[in-house]
Amino acid sequence: MGQPEPLAGLESGVISGRTSSDLSQFPDKAELERLGRARPAVLKSWITEVGFIITVVMSMTMSEYFIGGFNIILPPVADALNIPENTRTWPAGVINLTTAAFLMPFSRLCDIYGARSVFLFGHIWFMIWSLVCGFSTNTIMLIICRALQGIGTSAFTPAGLALLGQTYRPGPRKNLVFAIWGAFACLGFYFGIFLGAVCADFMTWRWYFWIGAIIVFCIAVTGFLTIPRNLHEQDESIRMDWWGLCTIVPGLILVVFAFTDGGHAPHGWQTPYIYVTFIIGMLFLIAGVYTQGWVSAQPLLPADLFRPKYMKRLSLALFCLYGVFGLYLFYSSYYIETVLDTTPILTAAWFTPLAIGGVCLAVCGGFVMHMISNRILMMISSVGFLISVLLFAIIPDRVNGHPSTSFLYWAYIFPAMVCGTIGVDITYNVTNVFITTSMPRRLQATAGGLINTLLYLGMAFWLGIAEMAISEANRRKLPEGLSLRQQYKIGFWIGVAMTGLSLILVLTIKIGQAASELTADEKAAQAEREAVAN
């Protein structure tokens, strides 16, 4: 007998117009390897593929741009808009909160209207509010505009992952594309830091937002031209889960608000609006759990999403690890600028290893992920996270100019930057490939929403927890209070504890290499066929 012929649409990762009963033949190992390395058929030429990849990964670049760089321009922004010290967390973190809250609803809209349409809408919305951010005249306006920016991010982020997941089959080519996605995230973070420093030192902080808006507009235009229109298979039976939308979204926002603002309220958690907000938020979340399990016909978080083995443990580990990364980004930039008293440009230079290391790790990872166990890679990344926050937690204080900033950089900050990029890049690449590969085509957008909900919610939630702990410790030290150095170190030690928990979880997770194999849809169809045959 000859080699089994690949199914129509296999090369693009799509099983178009076929039910499982139509799947009479499946490719053998050699054919799977070829398909895992081939350009998807839906991308007609290498030029189209390059344009498609650049468009999608640049969306992640700009998402990170507005997170990383904002911490650098926050001091001059705070001075210009008279932002109180106890509310500076909000302009920095509110974009993560709104992004996390709306990711799953926009994932469902990807299923209804197609990832391409949601991707383009997200960028137009993001461009508008990035532009308006630059015209902010007070704290409230800035916070509202940053929050509305997050809605754009919550639209195009799962859409981008869905576009990649629907286009590429499991295999080395998919690994490389997702590695490029991770590399551009690092570049975006550093690009934001660099441009933020340039704007803070030589221009005005407003140009940070306006330049970002121009780039986002260019991404929207190239996306309109390069993203294939035939990726979405219309399914008129898919509906929005209004029960989930009306319970989960307000629940997340209210609970994270309570944790973030609780430490700065006049009487802490005894302040009425704090505990009332928290109680109402928890009631919404409890109602959300009930609707997802027993009421919604098409829940935003379907049970199939957590069916792959170790998925629940992996999700908890990611929630903690991404929270560590959020603490690391926020407090390290503040520590460098305020405690070590560096200029924005020097701060940007000190963050360079995070970008260079991220690109190198991401690209190299794309070539080796199918050779090394994902469990080992996750252990390495967890250790990287641990060292990055631990070094900042134990960095010695400067007394009369000693030790020198040069010594502190090379002995503590430089290795922390290298370990930080080891942590976030390996984690992001491994989990993106594993989760999207484990999910059927119909859940690609939902999987993308889950991945990024864990990222943004983890960053927003744990930053709120750290701020609450710092405020409580500061209150106990009245009247003199804690120094900035002592406050930031509390955040780093919380990161150390969270990384330890994540490492324990990772040790119990067994996931293999990201090799060329059948897609989740093909595996399900093959299992159904074998069951019928038996």
pLDDT at position 8: 43
* 509 and 378 Cβ atoms separated by less than 8 Å: yes
Boundary (domain end) residue, out of 279, 299, 319: 299
Residue 238 burial (C-beta neighbours within 10 Å; 0-12, 13-18, 19+) = middle
Query: Which candidate, 157, 137, 1, places its Cα nearest to that of 66?
Result: 157
313 and 280 belong to one structural domain: no
Does residue 255 surpass a pLDDT of 80? yes
Domain that residue 256 falls in: 242-299
Least confident of 33-42, 237-246, 490-499: 33-42
DSSP strands (E only) in 46-189: none
Examine residue 17 and state whether it is found in any structural domain, yes or no.
no
pLDDT at position 517: 54
First to last CA, the chain: 22
Using alpha carbons only, give the angle 47, 52, 58 rounded to the nearest 5 degrees: 125
Tell me the C-alpha distance between 111 and 446, whole Å. Answer: 8
394 and 350 belong to one structural domain: yes
The alpha carbon torsion through 327, 331, 336, 339 (nearest 10 deg) reads -150
The residue behind tokens 């690994």 is: 175
The rounded mean pLDDT for the chain is: 84
Residue 231 burial (C-beta neighbours within 10 Å; 0-12, 13-18, 19+) = buried
Tell me the C-alpha distance between 534 and 532, whole Å. Answer: 5
264 and 142 belong to one structural domain: no
Boundary (domain end) residue, out of 299, 314, 333: 299
* 62 and 184 Cβ atoms separated by less than 8 Å: no
Examine residue 16 and state whether it is found in any structural domain, yes or no.
no
DSSP 483-494: -HHHHHHHHHHH
Boundary (domain end) residue, out of 257, 279, 299: 299
pLDDT at position 232: 63
Contacts of 236 (CB under 8 A, 6+ apart): none
Tell me the C-alpha distance between 342 and 333, whole Å. Answer: 10
pLDDT at position 22: 45
355 and 252 belong to one structural domain: no
Give residue-wise pLDDT tens across range 283-323: 999 999 999 989 998 999 888 888 888 888 999 999 999 99
Model confidence band, residue 522 (pLDDT cutoffs 50, 70, 90): low
Does residue 342 surpass a pLDDT of 70? yes
The model's pTM is 0.81
Does residue 261 surpass a pLDDT of 70? yes
* 240 and 66 Cβ atoms separated by less than 8 Å: no
131 and 190 belong to one structural domain: yes
Residue 3 burial (C-beta neighbours within 10 Å; 0-12, 13-18, 19+) = exposed
Tell me the C-alpha distance between 506 and 319, whole Å. Answer: 12
290 and 305 belong to one structural domain: no
Tell me the C-alpha distance between 532 and 237, whole Å. Answer: 27
Average the pLDDT over 429-454 and give the result.
80
CB atoms closer than 10 angstroms to residue 361:
23
Examine residue 11 and state whether it is found in any structural domain, yes or no.
no
Give residue-wise pLDDT tens across range 443-489: 777 887 888 888 888 988 898 899 889 888 888 887 777 888 999 99
Examine residue 451 and state whether it is found in any structural domain, yes or no.
yes
193 and 279 belong to one structural domain: no
Q: For 334-339, which contacts have Cβ atoms below 8 Å and span 24 or more sequence positions?
A: 334/71, 334/484, 334/488, 335/392, 335/395, 335/484, 335/485, 335/488, 336/413, 337/72, 337/75, 338/75, 338/484, 339/484, 339/485, 339/488
288 and 362 belong to one structural domain: no
Report which DSSP code applies to 263. Answer: T
Examine residue 24 and state whether it is found in any structural domain, yes or no.
no
CB atoms closer than 10 angstroms to residue 525:
23
Does residue 18 surpass a pLDDT of 50? no
Contacts of 167 (CB under 8 A, 6+ apart): 12, 13, 40, 42, 43, 52, 228, 231
* 69 and 191 Cβ atoms separated by less than 8 Å: yes
Does residue 134 surpass a pLDDT of 50? yes
Tell me the C-alpha distance between 494 and 481, whole Å. Answer: 19
Tell me the CATH number at 194.
1.20.1250.20
Tell me the C-alpha distance between 450 and 442, whole Å. Answer: 14
Examine residue 19 and state whether it is found in any structural domain, yes or no.
no
Least confident of 117-121, 209-213, 502-506, 508-512: 508-512
Tell me the C-alpha distance between 405 and 506, whole Å. Answer: 36
402: which strand partners?
399
- Residue 114 phi/psi, 5-degree rounding, is 100, 140
Examine residue 25 and state whether it is found in any structural domain, yes or no.
no
Higher pLDDT pick, 172 / 143: 143
253 and 348 belong to one structural domain: no
Tell me the C-alpha distance between 355 and 340, whole Å. Answer: 21
Model confidence band, residue 53 (pLDDT cutoffs 50, 70, 90): very high
286 and 432 belong to one structural domain: no
pLDDT at position 192: 92
* 169 and 36 Cβ atoms separated by less than 8 Å: yes
Examine residue 22 and state whether it is found in any structural domain, yes or no.
no
280 and 140 belong to one structural domain: no
Phi-psi region of 442 (alpha: psi -120 to 50; beta: other; left: phi over 0): alpha
- What residue type is 96 in one-letter code? N
Tokens of 161: 């992952």
pLDDT at position 436: 76
Average the pLDDT over 220-228 and give the result.
93
329 and 288 belong to one structural domain: no
399: which strand partners?
402
pLDDT at position 234: 63
Domain count, the chain: 2
* 508 and 9 Cβ atoms separated by less than 8 Å: no
DSSP 150-161: HHHHHHHHHHHH
